[in-house]
Structure 1
Amino acid sequence: MPFAVYILGLSIFAQGTSEIMLSGLLPELSADLGVSIPQAGLLISAFAVGMLIGAPVLAVITLRWPRRTALLAFLAVFIAAQVVAALTPGYWVLFGTRVIGAFVYAGFWAVAATTALSLVAENARGKAMSIVAGGLTIANIIGLPAGTAIGQHLGWRAAFWAVAILSALSMVGVAANIPGGRPATVPDLRSEMRTMRNPRLWLSYGTTALSTGAQLVIFAYLGTLLIETTGLAEGWIPIVLAIYGIGALIGITIGGRTSDAHPYRTLIAGVLGIALIAAALALTATSAVSVVVLAFLLGAFGFATNPALNTRVFALAGAAPTLATAVNFSSFNIGITVGPWLGGIAIGAGFGYPSVAWIGAVLGVLALGTIVWSMAWQRGSAATSAEQPALQPAH
């Protein structure tokens, strides 16, 4: 595996820590900024909104840029957003920095994924994506609990300073290891737009959004659920979140090895697991042992689907993958946005924190339906293709 792929994973780790660390800091943010827990939770959704918009927009704008140039530009803006976030006195400025930082982070994701997949053979794409996306998994294991611990002991602003420093270090790695110059084949916008007409591609986006929403509606409020419903002390939150991250690392490693050969089996196993785990969590949210075990399994099954969700879109996009891959990242962030939003509505309506797990179960079942539909569609297309020669007139 090219070393540049690992550098991209390291960069995702640095930026991904900012994406997810607020899950463990909602009580501190709520108290310091004078907002409710659901309002603080919207800062997670704000990040997702920035990524939702940023991925396709920046993919188009930078389509003909040298990839290293684009990656460095995105990192520079991201670092600036983290610094402003650490200095801001108010909620809405913080909200804005989350959107801006996520906007360029999405651009980084889209270019990094295309870069990584272009550097490896076709049968190694799943592994390459597991390494790049594994940066986010490591962020769950190290960045999230570390950011939570830093925020609890030094204040949530210190966590943003830490992310800015990590991102600056990753910027050095990108400058030194990612090949400069334009790719051998310069993408064409018209070809990219034609690819987007494929309806199977949009069904795949639906799978991405629903499965991500099923996981994130739970993850966004996991720290608060552990305190308010399960009754764990605040000091246990980073530990449980690290256990979730360990599960995510195991899951994405397995998914990276199975998604190239068995994409649909990987997706079905992962999404079905999310739905069942969510239902079990809703029923046993007051049991500390159960919640800890289920948090580990949620990370494992949730992240096992990640490589397959990415490589599936790349395969459907054919020779014009840049925009299609970027829109898939937007689909991830539709799930990240809608999941916490639905959870906030349920909590605000007085249904309690276990309700977010029930929402996750429903979204998981819907995601499973899109996978089954996609499988049936593929079988139908294959059968039609097989029949075509028989329909040709004899000469």
Structure 2
Amino acid sequence: MNKECFYAIDYLLALVIFCMTTSEFMVAGMMNELDLAFQVSVSSIGYLISAYAGAMVIGGPILTAILLRMRSKQALLFLMFVFLIGQLLGAIAWNYNIMMISRIITGIASAFGVAISFSATLVHSDSRGKAASIVLAGLMFATVLGLPITTVISQYFGWRISFGAVSVLVLVSGIMIQRLLPSSSNKEQLNWKDELLRFKNIHLWAAYVTSMFIIGGTFAAFSYFTPIFTNVTGFSSASTPSFPMILQKE
């Protein structure tokens, strides 16, 4: 397989990250619709975003570490299947508790680590940084494009259709991965003792804390942009899909 094909596969992995990040933040664009549907407060809807992120932080690394004993392609497909189940559950959720379960499942199944690890195996060592950056571009485009698009779909066709649309995209991505991605013959050998010893590095924790405050501060307001703009500043609901793009530009 030539270099161009490898990078094409990286873009496919970026699509996977795009789907998962869109799923994480799509709730932010449909808070008003969801609080009416489930008859809960806006802050309770905000917890759906927190649940996804919390499940990703706590459950995601554990599940990913376990799956590293599998071949990368099979591990990625398994995580995408679990993610798809969670996303479909969200589309048919009949109450708030079911939606919360959906968010936890999708958060745990987010396959960022596996996707980036897979991309690194596709190219030469001196190109791994570029490959990882291509995959992570899916995260940026999810907030700039994925969130506004799912918000528009929610406003005109309903929030269930919006969840369903992401589910379809995940399914299509999974089929493409099954057909196009090469099967790796190598399995990761994880040494838990060595991995845990890395947490003694104080500089690593400093980076964690810095990232936590920067990302947390940014998305604390970003997650509530819809109720802030519609209920506080008086903008119409139809104008809210454009705000994520403006905020990202700024």
Do the structures match in fold with TM over 0.5?
A: yes
Normalising by structure 2, report the TM-score: 0.90
Task: Indicate conservation of the 8 Å contact 1:4/1:177, yes or no.
Answer: yes
Q: CA RMSD in A?
A: 1.9
What SS does the corresponding residue of 1:223 show, helix, strand or coil? helix
Query: Take 1:197 and 1:178, find their aligned partners in 2: how far apart are those partners?
Result: 37
Q: When the two structures are aligned, how many residues end up with a matched partner?
A: 245
Which string of whole-angstrom CA distances, capped at 9 and with x for unpartnered residues, describes residues 121-162 of structure 1? 555444333321211222222221111111111111111111
Aligned partner of 1:132: which letter?
Answer: V
- Give the deviation of 1:30 after TM superposition: 0.6
- Give the deviation of 1:8 after TM superposition: 0.9
Instruction: Kindly report structure 1 stretches of 4+ aligned residues shifted beyond 4 Å.
Output: 120-126
- Give the deviation of 1:38 after TM superposition: 0.8
| Other-structure match for 2:11 | 6
What SS does the corresponding residue of 2:114 show, helix, strand or coil? helix
Aligned partner of 1:69: which letter?
Answer: Q
Q: Does 1:71 align with 2:76?
A: yes
Higher relative contact order (CA 8 A, sep 6+): 2
- Give the deviation of 1:57 after TM superposition: 0.6
- Give the deviation of 1:104 after TM superposition: 0.6
Cα distance change on mapping 1:189 and 1:158 into 2, 3 Å: same
Greater CA radius of gyration, 1 or 2? 1
Aligned partner of 2:162: which letter?
Answer: A
Query: Take 1:195 and 1:118, find their aligned partners in 2: how far apart are those partners?
Result: 23
Residue 44 of structure 2, aligned match among 39, 54, 78: 39
What SS does the corresponding residue of 2:109 show, helix, strand or coil? helix
Which stretches in structure 2 are left out of the alignment for 5+ residues? 1-5
Residue 162 of structure 1, aligned match among 162, 165, 169: 165
Which stretches in structure 1 are left out of the alignment for 5+ residues? 248-295, 298-395
What SS does the corresponding residue of 2:70 show, helix, strand or coil? coil
Residue 85 of structure 1, aligned match among 61, 86, 90: 90
- Give the deviation of 1:49 after TM superposition: 1.4
Query: Take 1:229 and 1:11, find their aligned partners in 2: how far apart are those partners?
Result: 35
Query: Take 1:114 and 1:210, find their aligned partners in 2: how far apart are those partners?
Result: 26
Normalising by structure 1, report the TM-score: 0.58
Q: How does 1:256-267 map to 2 (within 5 A)?
A: none
- Give the deviation of 1:41 after TM superposition: 1.1
Q: Does 1:132 align with 2:135?
A: yes
Query: Take 1:184 and 1:160, find their aligned partners in 2: how far apart are those partners?
Result: 34
What SS does the corresponding residue of 1:116 show, helix, strand or coil? helix
| Other-structure match for 1:52 | 57
Task: Indicate conservation of the 8 Å contact 1:64/1:182, yes or no.
Answer: no
What SS does the corresponding residue of 2:200 show, helix, strand or coil? coil
